[in-house]
Structure 1
Amino acid sequence: MLRALAGADEGVLDQVPLERTRYVGLGGVVLGTAVVAGISMWFALSQVLGGAHVAMLVPTVIWMLIVLNFDRWLVSTVTGTWHRRLLMLIPRLLVSVVLGFIIAEPLVLRVFETAIVQHVIDGRQAVLNAERDRLLACNPRVPTETPARRDCAGARLLASTTEAGVAELRDLESDAEKLRARVGTDRERHDRLFDKATGECAGDSREGMSGKRGNGPLCRRLDAAARDFLVQSHLNRNEKALRTLEGRITAMRGPLAGRQADFAEKIEAGIGERLSALPRPAAPVGLLERMRALQEVTAVNAYLSGATWLFRLFLILVDCLPVLVKLMGGTTAYDRMADHANRRDEEIHDRRLQLRTEARIGELELQAHRDVEDRRRQRRLMDIAGRATEAQTVEPSRTPWTRIAFPENRREILRGSSETPSGRR
């Protein structure tokens, strides 16, 4: 069975029995590379699917058979002299190297799985921590607080709800405070003017007053000044606008206070939802993540990089062993006999084909000659029939013996037509 995997011809090996051990070993090498390829496919599928499953046996066996037949083809069709073998084996060796890289990578990832998986877990945890810190810095628990970071593009969670209401309330309170200060100042000045006019009309003797009671000129002037100030300062209108602003502020504070009560909980829920979309540290590690992690780990660790490449080269050499064994073995007695047998088989095939062609050509020539003779015989028969017709139409004065002897003459002519040369009638 192992010699069959090496593509050996048992008929040729019976003539050189010492070569059997060699091809048993070569078949074992072919089987070993196929088994390594199957193990590599099993590990690759388990890393892609996140675990092992019985259904993975089907693609594993198929891949193992593909590699087995490919290596069998590589070593079974190389015969002849050393330079011919070299020209045939070097391209096959390059193909084996490429195939070895494909087979070696899953095994390398499996051997260094501990360091690779730990690197992936650390990287995932670092990403989670960085994203959480960013979301916390960009979303303070109190709506009135300013975010601690400026680069918060895409990290704001509730910016369009509570903060908008707080900003509007803050603007209304600022406007109300300004209007309240203005109304207070105008009201105080109007009260002084009105009190002075009232005192003058009542006859108070304070400073700047005449002390005369009644509606005198000074009383009328002070009263007009108080009324003019009331009109020019728009005191009544400003007081009405202040009451409207205070009403709006009071109406907004109630719902806004309710929304602010669960603002921190909403922020926490939003942060948790954002973080849940990122891969968890304990989640299965895929094949691409393993390859990227291996590259990152080996980039900073020269010892690990050297170890991975040595192991990878070892697996590539294992996959190239069938071709290398065939190349290093040189030209053996079996190779010479197999090549000689192949040449003899080609010669026999060519001779058999030549003889078959010649026989076919001879049959065609013979058939052509028969066709020619048949046509000549048909023409002779037509001539004889024409003469017989002429003899039957002659005068009755002819002697009877001519007509009686004619049939015998005709039979002699017909009998001798095949013996007569083609040029005679």
Structure 2
Amino acid sequence: MADNQQAPDNGLYTYDSFTGRGPGKKADTNFLWWCSGAHQELLKQFPSEHSKYWGLGGVILATFVLAALSSGYAIYSVFGNWMWTICFAIIWGLIIFNFDRFLVATMRKYGVSRRKQMAMALPRMALAILIGFTIARPLELKIFEKEINTKVIENTHKKIQLNDSLLQAENTALMQNTEAERNRLFERKKAIEDDLSRLQQSYVQEADGTAGSGMRGVEKIAKLKRDAYNSSVLQSAPELLSLTNSIHVQDSILANAKNNMEAKRAKYELSALENVGFLERNKALTDLSAEEDSVYWTSFLLSLLIILIEVGPIISKLIMPVGPYDIALAKEELTSMAASENDMRANKEMFIDKKNNLYKAQKEFSEQLVEKMTTLQQKHIDQELDKWERGEWNPRDHRASMDEVMRKIKERYQFNGEDLL
């Protein structure tokens, strides 16, 4: 024993060396026991039960870690802020931890049939499975992150292509009408320019003798054709200017429509690439599961594993055999309940006794009062009759009836039975 106590000084360490406790010193509390919701003071009395509740507390602690990691990843994928991520992860993990601890702590083993235990566990199992689904999905997204990123890019490109087709359909009518109007104006301008070109060519050919009269130098005919050309140029100039301006307007409309469509496309593409959130990543994982069986089964088995971990505390509690701790806990609870019930029964009996005593006292008081009032009333009647026989009776000397006297006595000495009780 002395050698063991001197072991740290000799460079040899034991497990107690890392806990700060001596060989014979035990901790007042145990964290894993607390996690399991056990009655620690009672559990200390049964060493054979310690390992069971260490394991149960470890399973519940594992659900806290998984819930914190899952919610933290989900929040970070939405907000991208580490402070919010850590705060929410801790809060959500504590909520799940406290809920699991409550579910396990309220389950009893001793004195409860297996069927009743299962009936009591079913709603807890349903809640645990639901919580398991909420925990599993974000963890799956993190595990398949690389594949999901590739699928997200593919889905984003599809969305951009769909948006391009919608923008094209939105501007098709405007661009078709504008193109048709521009072509009409251009054809009109071209027709006028062709007419002027023919007049000019006719004048030139007449002047050099290659056409028309075929005689070079006939100034009169050439002059007439030149005048006709100049007149047509003067007449067509305003219309040509108007047509040119109108064509420029139509060109600007087409250019603006194309620029607006390209700006909308670039804006949507930038928004689609930058705002990839939790739902988009979840959709990508769903698409991958639908396309590849390996991804589906891997995701399914991973979800099943996490759900089993979440349901683990309840399953562990169900399959744990009844031990001395369960019997002692049931005994303590039933003893406390019996003591409380006995106190309630004693208080009720005391109340009934007080009430009976009160009724008995009231009855005795009423009987004594009636007896005395009857005697007094008989005495007053005899006195009144005696005065009447002697002729000394006066109506003014008439006394109140005994009923009225008793009423006044009761009003004066009235009391509340509930106050006495």
Asked if residue 362 in structure 1 is aligned to residue 392 in structure 2, the reply is no
Structure 2 unmatched ranges of 5 or more: 1-30, 200-230, 388-421
Correspondences of 1:60-99 after superposition (within 5 Å) = 60-79=89-108, 80-99=112-131
Residue 364 of structure 2 corresponds to 373
**Match among 70, 75, 81 for residue 40 of structure 1:** 70
- The SS at the match of 2:169 is coil
Contact 1:40 1:106 in 2 (8 A): yes
Structure 1 residue 324 displacement after superposition: 1.5
Residue 299 of structure 2 corresponds to 308
Alignment TM-score, normalising by the size of structure 2: 0.66
- Measure the CA separation in 1 of the matches of 2:327 and 2:375: 72
Alignment TM-score, normalising by the size of structure 1: 0.65
Residue 316 of structure 2 corresponds to 325
Larger CA deviation: 96-105 vs 270-279: 270-279
**Match among 162, 169, 173 for residue 153 of structure 1:** 169
Larger RCO (alpha carbons 8 Å, 6+ apart): 1
Residue 256 of structure 1 corresponds to 247
Residues 259/90 of structure 1: CA separation in 2 closer, same or farther (3 Å cut):
closer
Residue 35 of structure 2 corresponds to 5
Contact 1:158 1:267 in 2 (8 A): no
- The SS at the match of 2:175 is coil
CA RMSD of aligned residues (A): 4.0
- Measure the CA separation in 1 of the matches of 2:127 and 2:136: 14
- Measure the CA separation in 2 of the matches of 1:326 and 1:384: 80
Contact 2:290 2:296 in 1 (8 A): yes
Residue 409 of structure 2 corresponds to none
Question: Whose helix fraction is larger, Structure 1's or Structure 2's?
Answer: 2
Structure 1 residue 45 displacement after superposition: 0.7
Kindly provide the CA deviation profile for residues 41-78 of structure 1, in whole angstroms up to 9, marking residues without a partner as x: 111111122x1331333333332222112111221122
- Measure the CA separation in 1 of the matches of 2:308 and 2:236: 86
Matched residue type, 2:74: A
State, as a whole percentage, how many aligned pairs show the same letter: 25
Structure 1 residue 35 displacement after superposition: 2.0
Residues 377/285 of structure 1: CA separation in 2 closer, same or farther (3 Å cut):
same
Residues 390/110 of structure 1: CA separation in 2 closer, same or farther (3 Å cut):
same
Correspondences of 1:397-408 after superposition (within 5 Å) = none
Structure 1 residue 165 displacement after superposition: 4.7
- Measure the CA separation in 2 of the matches of 1:76 and 1:262: 74
Kindly provide the CA deviation profile for residues 10-40 of structure 1, in whole angstroms up to 9, marking residues without a partner as x: 3532443321332232122212212211111
Asked if residue 338 in structure 1 is aligned to residue 329 in structure 2, the reply is yes
Structure 1 residue 294 displacement after superposition: 0.6
User: Greater Rg, structure 1 or structure 2?
Assistant: 1
Asked if residue 25 in structure 1 is aligned to residue 55 in structure 2, the reply is yes
Asked if residue 291 in structure 1 is aligned to residue 282 in structure 2, the reply is yes
Kindly provide the CA deviation profile for residues 258-314 of structure 1, in whole angstroms up to 9, marking residues without a partner as x: 764896587345313333123457514201100111111222222222222222211
Structure 1 residue 325 displacement after superposition: 1.0
- Measure the CA separation in 1 of the matches of 2:91 and 2:345: 43
Contact 1:100 1:316 in 2 (8 A): yes
Matched residue type, 1:87: A
Contact 1:124 1:280 in 2 (8 A): no
Contact 2:178 2:250 in 1 (8 A): yes
Matched residue type, 1:374: F
- The SS at the match of 1:277 is helix
Residue 183 of structure 2 corresponds to 167
Matched residue type, 1:35: V
Residues 130/5 of structure 1: CA separation in 2 closer, same or farther (3 Å cut):
closer
Contact 1:179 1:242 in 2 (8 A): no
Asked if residue 277 in structure 1 is aligned to residue 268 in structure 2, the reply is yes
Residue 222 of structure 1 corresponds to none
Residues 168/180 of structure 1: CA separation in 2 closer, same or farther (3 Å cut):
same
**Match among 45, 48, 58 for residue 87 of structure 2:** 58
Residues 373/280 of structure 1: CA separation in 2 closer, same or farther (3 Å cut):
closer
- Measure the CA separation in 2 of the matches of 1:5 and 1:241: 103
Residues 56/67 of structure 1: CA separation in 2 closer, same or farther (3 Å cut):
same
- Measure the CA separation in 1 of the matches of 2:177 and 2:236: 22
- Measure the CA separation in 1 of the matches of 2:133 and 2:162: 37
Structure 1 residue 257 displacement after superposition: 4.1
- The SS at the match of 2:274 is coil
- The SS at the match of 1:285 is coil
Contact 2:182 2:251 in 1 (8 A): no
- The SS at the match of 1:381 is helix
- Measure the CA separation in 2 of the matches of 1:336 and 1:289: 53
Structure 1 residue 112 displacement after superposition: 1.1
- Measure the CA separation in 2 of the matches of 1:257 and 1:155: 19
Kindly provide the CA deviation profile for residues 173-218 of structure 1, in whole angstroms up to 9, marking residues without a partner as x: 477599999x9xxxxxxxxxxxxxxxxxxxxxxxxxxxxxxxxxxx
- Measure the CA separation in 1 of the matches of 2:41 and 2:249: 96
Residues 330/90 of structure 1: CA separation in 2 closer, same or farther (3 Å cut):
farther
Correspondences of 1:128-207 after superposition (within 5 Å) = 128=160, 152-156=168-172, 159=175, 163=179, 165-170=181-186, 172-173=188-189
Structure 1 residue 129 displacement after superposition: 5.9
Contact 1:101 1:316 in 2 (8 A): yes
Larger CA deviation: 274-283 vs 299-308: 274-283
